[in-house]
């Protein structure tokens, strides 16, 4: 029991640090006010507070549901309750459906109401629910199969289950990273090749200078849903591609778009996706082993109770490890920024890009250090501008 108390206390400390940072806030300094107006900074602060409050509430709600389910399973079904595989899959599916219903009001408020309040979304209610249902079906399918497989492995191989589960997750992670861009992404966006021929020539030239081969630069029709601008690097092997939101291509200068592409090339050149996969695999094996030790101490050696216990364990552990994970991510993003500056030699466009992206996405440009430490996977905007100026 004391291990669960330590995990819960650690997770509460992390979430509490975010709450403290939100309450204290950061007064804008002269440099921040040089790049952003007071009205924008106030609006960004309000958006951050409501968004992160929803996030914190969601984490607490999930932890409460997983914790209650764990207690109910152990008390009324017993630590070693072993239904058939079909029955176990049914229990798991029903539990996940219940979890989706419990979190739906908060998801709708955060994903629809808040985004419309701050004029970031142009989705209708029907469109939002269409995306929500598609996402729910995908997650229910994957999670039901994955958790049922975990139950099967745990029941039949009580000593080696964590190794087999780690191998299974690793294979799924590799396959999922490879297939996501060609199976899941097209369910939510239509993709077209970048049509700007002059920019395409410049991209090929820049890729040659970077020593990498660019397979595809695609434009996603994000403007059907949002006014936000974004870009990302996805895929593995033959499915690697750089994706630009059409809002970015339409509203930003060609020089700024080239900085974005150069940044994504930086991720490519430094093999950040591969490194993230390797770290995820190592972290998964370590986490599964720790879960095995914990379950052995509790006397749980087989049975369906592993499902809510595992969900609670991984949720708490993910909260505790967020500062470490996001710290590594910020290092990767700084490397990609540096590569973008090296490839474009255009710090002026880099700075205006960060200004316009912040304004388009209503980003907090200088968060409280505690909020940055825990939640920021990217360096704050002001830090990125300062790095470009240097």
Spot the catalytic one: 48, 256, 337, 383: 337
Instruction: Determine contact, residues 330/201, Cβ cutoff 8 Å.
Output: no
Residue with tokens 């970015």: 248
CB atoms within 10 A of CB 252: 22
Q: Which residues pair with 219 in a beta bridge?
A: 192, 244
HSE-up of residue 373 (Cα within 13 Å, Cβ side): 14
Cα 349 from Cα 340, distance rounded (Å): 11
Task: Clarify whether 337 is annotated catalytic.
Answer: yes
Residue from 182, 208, 189 nearest 265 by CA? 208
Asked whether 229 and 259 are in contact (CB, 8 A), the reply is: no
Catalytic annotation, pick one of 264, 333, 359, 383: 264
Nearest-Å Rg of the Cα atoms of the chain is: 23
Q: Cite the beta strand spans of the chain per DSSP E.
A: 191-193, 217-220, 231-234, 241-245
Q: Is there a contact between 15 and 371 (Cβ–Cβ < 8 Å)?
A: no
For the chain, the straight-line distance linking the first and the last C-alpha, in angstroms and rounded, comes to 51
Phi, psi angle pair for 175, to nearest 5°: -65, -40
**Which residues are tagged catalytic?**
264, 337
């Amino acid at each position: 029991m004391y291990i669960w108390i330590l995990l819960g206390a650690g997770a509460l400390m992390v979430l509490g640090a975010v709450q403290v940072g939100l309450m204290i806030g950061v007064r804008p300094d002269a440099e921040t006010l040089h790049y952003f107006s007071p009205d924008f900074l106030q609006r960004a602060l309000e958006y951050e507070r409501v968004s992160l409050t929803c996030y914190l509430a969601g984490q607490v709600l999930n932890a409460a549901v997983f914790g209650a389910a764990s207690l109910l399973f152990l008390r009324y079904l017993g630590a070693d309750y072993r239904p058939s595989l079909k029955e176990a899959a049914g229990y798991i599916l029903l539990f996940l459906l219940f979890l989706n219903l419990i979190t739906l009001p908060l998801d709708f408020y955060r994903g629809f109401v808040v985004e419309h309040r701050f004029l970031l979304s142009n989705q209708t209610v029907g469109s939002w629910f269409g995306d929500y249902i598609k996402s729910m079906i995908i997650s229910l399918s994957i999670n039901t199969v994955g958790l049922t497989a975990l139950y099967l492995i745990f029941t039949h191989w009580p000593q080696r289950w964590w190794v087999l589960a780690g191998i299974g997750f690793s294979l799924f992670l590799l396959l999922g990273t490879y297939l996501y861009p060609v199976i899941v992404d097209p369910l939510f966006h239509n993709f077209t090749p970048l049509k700007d021929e002059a920019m395409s020539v410049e991209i090929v030239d820049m890729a040659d200078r970077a020593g990498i081969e660019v397979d595809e630069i695609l434009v996603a029709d994000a403007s059907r849903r949002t006014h936000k601008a974004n870009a990302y690097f996805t895929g593995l092997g033959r499915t690697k591609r750089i994706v630009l939101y059409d809002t970015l291509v339409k509203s930003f200068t060609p020089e700024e778009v080239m900085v974005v592409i150069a940044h994504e090339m930086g991720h490519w050149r430094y093999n950040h996706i591969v490194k993230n996969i390797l770290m995820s695999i190592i972290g998964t094996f370590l986490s599964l082993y720790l879960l095995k030790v914990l379950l052995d101490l509790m006397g749980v050696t087989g049975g369906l109770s592993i499902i809510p216990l595992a969900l609670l364990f991984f949720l708490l552990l993910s909260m505790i490890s967020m500062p470490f994970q996001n710290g590594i991510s910020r290092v990767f993003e700084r490397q990609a920024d540096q590569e973008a500056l090296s490839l474009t030699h255009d710090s002026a466009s880099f700075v205006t890009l960060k200004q316009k992206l912040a304004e388009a996405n209503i980003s907090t440009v200088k968060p409280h250090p505690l909020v940055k430490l825990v939640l920021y996977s990217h360096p704050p905007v002001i830090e990125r501008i300062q790095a470009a100026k240097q």
